[in-house]
Structure 1
C-alpha cells in the first residue's frame, strides 16, 4: 500500500534545490524516493542578463522555501525572453512541486532538448514520470542519467526504488541500493537496514 504523504523531505548530496517523492510504507522511511534537483548549468547561464541571473537565484530560494507560485511567476517571466536550461529545469521543478505534472513534463522535456547531456535533468524527468505512473519512461530516464554519470548516487537509488516498489524486481533493486550506498559511504542507515532485509529475503528464495 503506497502512502504518498508519510515521509518528510530529505536532502541527499549537495544540491541547490531538493525534490522529494513520497514512497511506499514498506520501504525505508527516511529513504523514500528522493531526487535532487538540477544544478545550475554554467555554459547556458551566459544567455541571461545580470538582472535575470539575480531573478533566477531569487526563484531558487523561493523554491527551497516552498513558495512555488512566486517562483513560477519569476521563472516564466525570464523564460519569455531567454530559453535557458536552468530556468526550464527549475520551472519543471516548480510545476512538479505545485502538482501540475503535465506542465512539469513539458518544461523538463524542453530542458533535455537544450542540455541532453545533463544527468540531473534526466533524473528530474524520471521523478516526474514516476509520479505520472509512466514507469517505463521513468526507468529509461534514470538509466540515461546513469549512462551519463555512472556514479550518480541518486539515480542508482531511484532505480532501486522503482524496481523495489513498482516492479517487485528485488534482485535489481538490491544491486542499485548497494551502488547507491557505496557512493555515499554507507551514510544512509535506514536504507542500509532495508537492504539487509532485502538480502535476507533474497537468500530465503
Structure 2
C-alpha cells in the first residue's frame, strides 16, 4: 500500500493503478486500496471505474467520510446531482465539521443547483473550518453575496 500511495503522490498514476489493482484483487475486503483506487480514477477522469471502486469502499465501510465525499464528487461530475446532494447531506449529518464536504456541497448548490443561499451557508462553514483556504473562500462568499444582492433588486 505504501508503494501505491507513493506512486500516487509522485504522479506515477500507471504504477499506482497496477499496485492498487493487485491489492484489490489480493485483498478484496480491505477498504484502503478500493478508496485510493477510486480517488485515483476520479483524478484521471475515469468516472465509471471511480464510482465502482468507491461504491465497493462504501460497501466495506458505509459510514466512511472520505469515500462518501469522493463518491459525491464523482456523482456531481456525472451530472447525478440529486444523488450527490443526498450523499453530501448524509456525510455532513454524520461529520458536520468535514470542511471539504461543505466546500463541495457549496459548489453543488452554487454552480449546479442554482441555490445561492444554501451555497453561501456552506461556503461560510467551509471558511470557518479551513484556515488554509480562507482567502479563496472569502472571494467565493463575496461573489455569491454580490450575486444574491443583484437578484434581490
Q: TM-score over 0.5 for the alignment? A: yes
Which of the numbers 117, 120, 123 marks the counterpart of 2:69? 123
Which of the numbers 152, 165, 172 marks the counterpart of 2:111? 165
Q: Verify the 8 A CA contact 2:124 2:137 in the aligned structure 1.
A: no
Deviation at 1:186, TM superposition (A): 7.6
**Higher alpha-carbon deviation: 134-143 or 120-129:** 134-143
Q: Verify the 8 A CA contact 1:69 1:98 in the aligned structure 2.
A: no
Equivalents in 2 of 1:73, 1:186: separation in Å? 33
Cα distance per residue 1:78-131 (max 9 Å; x no partner): 111212100100111122222221111111001001111111110010111111
Per the alignment, residue 73 of structure 1 pairs with 18
Equivalents in 2 of 1:117, 1:193: separation in Å? 32
Per the alignment, residue 39 of structure 2 pairs with 93
The size of the alignment, in residue pairs, is 150
Equivalents in 2 of 1:66, 1:60: separation in Å? 10
Deviation at 1:185, TM superposition (A): 4.0
Q: Verify the 8 A CA contact 2:108 2:119 in the aligned structure 1.
A: yes
Residues 1:147 and 2:93 are matched in the alignment: yes
Structure with the largest fraction of helix? 2
Equivalents in 1 of 2:147, 2:48: separation in Å? 38
Per the alignment, residue 125 of structure 2 pairs with 179
Deviation at 1:69, TM superposition (A): 1.6
Deviation at 1:136, TM superposition (A): 1.3
Counting only pairs closer than 5 Å after superposition, residues 1-205 of structure 1 correspond to structure 2 as: 56-82=1-27, 83-185=29-131, 187-204=133-150, 205=152
Q: The residue matched to 1:168 in structure 2 has which SS?
A: coil
Structure 2 unaligned spans of 5+:
none
Structure 1 unaligned spans of 5+:
1-55
Equivalents in 1 of 2:109, 2:80: separation in Å? 13
Q: 1:200 to 1:100 in 2, by over 3 A?
A: closer
Equivalents in 1 of 2:33, 2:120: separation in Å? 35
Q: Which has the higher contact order (CA 8 A, sep 6+)?
A: 1
**Higher alpha-carbon deviation: 178-187 or 107-116:** 178-187
- The TM-score with structure 2 as length reference comes to 0.91
